[in-house]
Structure 1
Amino acid sequence: MTDDYKFQITDDDPISLYNYAKQCQDAGDTDDALIFYNKSITADSTCPHGWYGMSYIYFQQGAYDIAFKKSCQGVKEADYSKYHDPIHFELGQIMLDSASKLAEKINIVSYNNSVFKELEQKGNCKIYCKDFKQDEISSFLGFGPDYNQDFHNIVYNSALPDSEYRILHELIHLKFKIENHKKGIKLPYTFSNKAYQLFYYKNIVTYQNKYKKFSPTDLNKRMSNDFTQLYALLITNIIDLFIEKEIYYKIPELRPLQVLSTIAENKRIEKRTLGFENHMPTEIFHKIMIINHLEFLNLKELYGMNQITDIPITSELIKKAEELYQICKEAMYSSNFCTQIATTMNIVADKLELKYLLE
C-alpha cells in the first residue's frame, strides 16, 4: 500500500489507509471502527457490467454502525462512468443493514486470516481472502474492484442476484471468527473445526429454549442475537452449496462439517468418504450434502449418532434433499431477506422433523 494511494474519510480529509490506521494505533485509539472510501475510482470500462466504487474497512473495537453508515453513504455517492448503468444503491443499504444487525456492540481484536486464494468465481463475481498486515494492523473486509489489494476483499458485480448474500456471508465469517477468537478458540478459514461445531450446535439448541418459533418480525428484532445469526449462517452456507455445485472440489476449506475432513491429495473430495457409490451423480451428491448439513443440527435426537457418515443414504433422504434444494434456491432470489429466512427455516424444521424448534 503506497502513501500516494489515497483514501477518503471526508471530502476534505484524504489520507492513506495505512498511515491513518497506524496513527490511530499509535495514539491508542481503540474505540472506533475506521472506514476508508476511495471516491476517485469509477466503473471499469474493461468489465462487462462495470465496478462501482470501493470501500476498505479497518476494525479496532466496536462502532460497526459508524463504519457501515459511512460505507453505505460512500457507495451511494460513488461515481460511475458514462459506459455503465448507475450504481445500485441497494448494495450499500444491504451492507449497512446486515452489519448493524450482525455485529452490534461487539469488541474487535486483531485477527489474521493468513489465507490468500481466489475462493470462488462466477461470471464477474470473485471473492478473495487475503490478510493486510503491516506493523500489526489488519484489515478484514472490503468490497470493490478486483485490484487484488491486501485485505479481506469481496469483489462482486452488482448485477448478480446473490450480491447481498455475498456481503452477508462475509460479515458472518468476520463475526464468528472474532467471537471465537475472543473465547480463545483458534479457527482457520473453515467450517470444519471441531470446537466451532460444538459452539454452533450448543447455541442452536439454546436458541430453541428461548424462542418458540420464527417470524419475520422477531427475526428482524433479534438479528443481533448470536442464536439468530447462526440460522442466518446456516442459510448462507446452504446457498453456497448450490451457487457453485463444484465448490467442495475447488475449495475443501469451506466444508461445513467435520465429515468432509478426508480430502484426496488432488484436493477432490472422495465420495467414498461419505459412503457413497462412486457412480453417484454429482448433483445428487451435493443435494445430499445440503440435507446432511441440516440434519446435523438434530443428529443426536433423530438418530442417536455422532457422525453424519452414519446417516443411511435412503431414497427418502434423497427426496428430502431434492425438496430442500429447491426451497433454498428460491430463497436465494428473495427480495426480503428476513422474511425468507424465517419462512425457510420453518419449512426446513418441518421437513427435517426438528420438533424441538417448533414446540
Structure 2
Amino acid sequence: MDKNQSGIEFMKEGKLDLAAEAFHDAINENPDDPVAYINFGNVLALAGSDDKALAFYNKAITLDENAATAYYGAGTLYYSQERYEEAKKCFELAIKKGLDTTDNYFMLGTTLMILEQSTKALPYLQRCVELNPSDAEAIYQYGLCLAQLKMVEDAKTQFEKCVEIEPNHADAYYNLGMAYALQDNGEKAIEMFEKALEIQPDHEYTRNAMKHIEVIEE
C-alpha cells in the first residue's frame, strides 16, 4: 500500500497524526504529486489548521491547475470562515475542473443562497438532489431555494420529501407551515407548526409564526 493510501486509511480510523506522517512521507517521495498535498491539506483541515491547509491546497493547484478537489477543499475552508465570495469561486472552479459530486453542488448551492443568489443556486441544489435523492438536508435546501423564488407548491413537495426521509426535521415542518400559510390554509399551517414544536419546543420562528396565524384565525 502506498503512502497516500495508508494515510487515507489512517484518516478513516481517526488517526490524524499517523495520516499526516504518511502524507508527509508521500510528499518527500514525490514532491511533484498534487494528490499528496491535497491529502495533507485534508488532514490539516480536520485538525483545525485552516491556514496551513489552504497553503497545501494552493500548492496542489500550483502543481496542477486542474486539481479539482483542491479547489473544493479550499472552498469548504472559506465557507467555514464565512468568506462566502471566495468559497463560491472555489466551488465553481471545482465544477469547471470536473468535480461532479453531490458535496460540491450542495456547497455551491448553499453558498449562493447565503449570498442571496437563489436563482443561481437553484440548478446546483437541483443537481445535488438528482444525484442523491435520499439526502434529506439537500432536499430541504432545495425546497428552501424554491420557496425563496416564490415557487411555493414545488417547495412544499420538497419539504414533504424531506420529512418523509427525516421525520424529525423541525425546520422542514416550519417551512411547510409557512407554505400552507401563504396558500391561506391556516388549519394545515398550524398542524405543521405543531409538528415542528413537538420536535423542537424552542423553535422560535415557529412560535412566532403560530402567534401570527392565531391572530389571523381570531
TM-score range, shorter chain: 0.3 to 0.5
Give the structure with the higher percent strand: 1
Larger RCO (CA under 8 A, 6+ residues apart): 1
State the TM-score, normalized to the length of structure 2.
0.37
Give the structure with the higher percent helix: 2
